[in-house]
Structure 1
């Protein structure tokens, strides 16, 4: 507490020369260009990964639909739509009860996905 820095400097403004300004702007442009290229590469990688995940999801969905169709042929008295209606109802009820918005969204998304799957079966 007894030691303090006492600086007796007077700020002086210094004018930059045009070559210095150009060099600073060029360095900022190079840095921004490098960032854009890096982000563009990342976007391309993420896009290809997303496409691959979407293909995988579609393959799983198609396999699930085929399996459900086969099970409908084996068990003629089994009605998947009626069985899943109760599951959809429970998911919608949980969505109403849940206090977390992400949980509500997830319950509703899952119920919607099951309904969409059932629509494809009809």
Structure 2
């Protein structure tokens, strides 16, 4: 095994480990976003069931503050838009990362075969 091959294999293996770690972090982030999406969708449904003159309170620290229902509903809608956008962004990155991992995996396999003197 040449020194150049060994270094390249080491570099590719480290790249793969970094990608796997990022992938795991993104999966956890995606799960958290799903949870937030479900929670906010539930709140949005509740707002739609409420009468226009219903009282809405917002928990700020240890205090419940009266809030305008329309303003609260608008805030939830904006939050839903943001969460959906983040989900799309995370899914796009997961997709790209999966492709990159596949390419790197193939490259590592080829390097291992070259090092062992096996021809494909």
TM class by smaller structure? 0.3 to 0.5
Higher relative contact order (CA 8 A, sep 6+): 2
More strand by share: 2
TM-score (norm 1): 0.43
| Rg larger for | 1
